[in-house]
Structure 1
């Protein structure tokens, strides 16, 4: 049994296939396994809580894990150690989530492209057809992650409290969410995964895209992301398309294309959930 895994900070998708690429189990989902944020004990607990993974752990021969927080060696080694402890017979490869986005969006394995992730967090890299290149090292959700779910959640909360929302959007926002200040502070400062909590507000934008305020908010975040991340690759952009993975990107396609026209880069493919593309990529290698 081979497990192909795509993990963000909020959720983690697991697909099991056999050596012929046939899917063996229904797609499994756990909470996100971000080793840059979660301690070893919590990572272990999340995996062991899933009954299907627990029941089949000794049958797993290979794991191809792509995840948020796996871009540097220390958290990558931490997660690999947890996986090796649970899946005792498996050969395990752990890569950063950007590689999942690359394999899921490029048109061929040798295609050069700038590849972006806009999900709970955000990232951007250049794939030259063989290797991945990053010009900016992420410092996480509290400082970076422009145009991500947690960025938009933070902006929505700020705009609500600073009275920058239009009245109709403000009423809809306070109807949908608990906006009591102590409740928000409790989730931000005393609960695990504040980045995922912030990202939970982002869906609101896509339910209210008839509002000019919302459309402008989305484009403001994308412009920041393009300026700070995509434009790091000005030379590469002369020939390479820009592909996007993640739910925020998928539901912001029109706004991304408008900003691309403004800033002069060429938009390529959109992939909401990279896991399907990952399974196809690894199945073709079997």
Structure 2
């Protein structure tokens, strides 16, 4: 059996698989070696994960998560080694490689993450060859939920939305312009707040002005990130809730920019199980 993890800042999903079949699913709080040292990570795994696994003991552990740069991955590997002393192999990689393996498998492709933030890479079937720096929601992150929320707020208060839509949002959310400005400029995690506006946009996606906002956000993502790889011949796979829930608009934007979509999934876990099964590890 192998244990696969997909970790974000708030939650880690753990799937135990045997020959490509998932035999157990578990969850713990998020793990990020940029913010947590080895002792904290070991405490999370030992205190939250191991009780859920019971007597099941994986022969290999593959961890994918935000913050797992080549410099920080050894912190995770060491903590997992303490938790699983009998595992023959333990690896820790960034979430972008996890996305690439999930949507491209062992084939070449362009892999993207479209969630609260965005990222992309050119993948050769084994490793990441090129990566356009996302730069965060202030300087970049085109295609993300945070930038979509930012553009929505801009359009709402500068006359870029259909008549009545701004009033509907304010009535439904209770947020005023002053409150939104305070949340963005005075409170932490402004990117998450802006991304939290996406459900309203999705519920009203039939509105032409909102649909255009979404498509333009995705087109900007392709132009400023994906085009840099010069590989319009390759399929573009996407992981993340924003890409998944706006898949129709994403497909239209891809076609308009000369790309074709591959797999679009909300979570990379099923693809990662299939990838490791195909690799025999």
Q: Do the structures match in fold with TM over 0.5?
A: yes
Aligned to 1:62: 60
Q: For the structure 1 residues 87 and 141, does the alpha-carbon distance in structure 2 shift closer, same or farther, using more than 3 Å as the test?
A: farther
Aligned to 1:7: 7
- Greater CA drift, 253-262 or 164-173: 164-173
Query: How far 1:126 moved relative to its partner?
Result: 1.0
Matched-pair contact (CA < 8 Å) for 1:76–1:94: yes
Deviations along 1:138-172, one digit per CA (max 9) or x if unpaired, are: 43344221111222233334444545444533234
Q: State the secondary structure of the residue aligned to 2:237.
A: strand
Structure 2, gaps ≥5 residues long? none
Matched-pair contact (CA < 8 Å) for 1:118–1:248: yes
Query: How far 1:80 moved relative to its partner?
Result: 3.7
Q: Determine the C-alpha separation between the residues in 2 that align with 1:179 and 1:203.
A: 15
Matched-pair contact (CA < 8 Å) for 1:222–1:256: yes
Matches within 5 A, 1:93-172: 93-106=91-104, 109=106, 111-162=107-158, 164-172=160-168
Matches within 5 A, 1:1-286: 2-9=2-9, 11-18=11-18, 20-25=19-24, 27-36=25-34, 38-40=35-37, 44=41, 47=44, 51-54=48-51, 56=53, 59-70=57-68, 72-84=69-81, 86-87=83-84, 89-90=86-87, 91-106=89-104, 109=106, 111-162=107-158, 164-177=160-173, 179=175, 181=178, 185=182, 189-191=186-188, 193-234=189-230, 236-237=231-232, 239-284=233-278, 285-286=280-281
Q: Determine the C-alpha separation between the residues in 1 that align with 2:84 and 2:180.
A: 39
Q: Determine the C-alpha separation between the residues in 1 that align with 2:246 and 2:59.
A: 38
Query: How far 1:93 moved relative to its partner?
Result: 0.9
Q: Determine the C-alpha separation between the residues in 1 that align with 2:174 and 2:10.
A: 20
Number of equivalences: 277
Structure 1, gaps ≥5 residues long? none
Query: How far 1:277 moved relative to its partner?
Result: 1.1
**RMSD (Å) for aligned C-alpha atoms:** 3.3
Q: Determine the C-alpha separation between the residues in 1 that align with 2:126 and 2:42.
A: 35
Matched-pair contact (CA < 8 Å) for 2:146–2:193: yes
Q: State the secondary structure of the residue aligned to 1:250.
A: helix
